[in-house]
Amino acid sequence: MLETPHGLVVLLGCAHAGIISILDHIQGLTGKSNILAIIGGTHLVAAAPERLAWTIGELKRFPFKILAPGHCTGFLASVHLYQAFPDKFILNEVGNRYCFG
């Protein structure tokens, strides 16, 4: 997690603990709710449809502006995330650069 002037940037290697649990924990630790970006592996590649739907519903609680899922998200989950957050979704690929500041 990085604190920037525009909000928190959450960097995920692979969210084995669950992306929602991680975001809740970060908000609890920092006392801040302004999440600017979520970048990295969401560990949803093998998620059942019910878990994926639940995760998307819960993500709507967080006021992020950028969602750039990574490797362990998987193609199908990435498609669902794009459909749920088309104005926030960025296809996260090798070589992408993100500037916050």
pLDDT digits (tens, 9 = 90+) for 43-101: 999 999 999 999 999 999 999 999 999 989 999 999 999 999 999 999 998 888 998 87
Full residue range of the structural domain in which residue 26 is found: 2-84
pLDDT, residue 31, reads 95
For residues 97 and 37, is the Cβ–Cβ distance under 8 A? no
pLDDT of 72 reads: 94
Determine, yes or no, domain membership for 96.
no
Classify residue 99: in a domain, yes or no. no
At residue 89, the 3 state secondary structure works out as: strand
- Identify the DSSP state of 72: G
| pLDDT for the residue 71 | 87
The C-alpha atoms of residue 87 and residue 89 are separated, in whole angstroms, by 6
- With respect to residue 10, please indicate whether it lies within any of the assigned structural domains: yes
100 assigned to some structural domain = no
**Is residue 101 in a domain?**
no
Contact 49, 39 (CB under 8 A): no
In a domain, 26, yes or no: yes
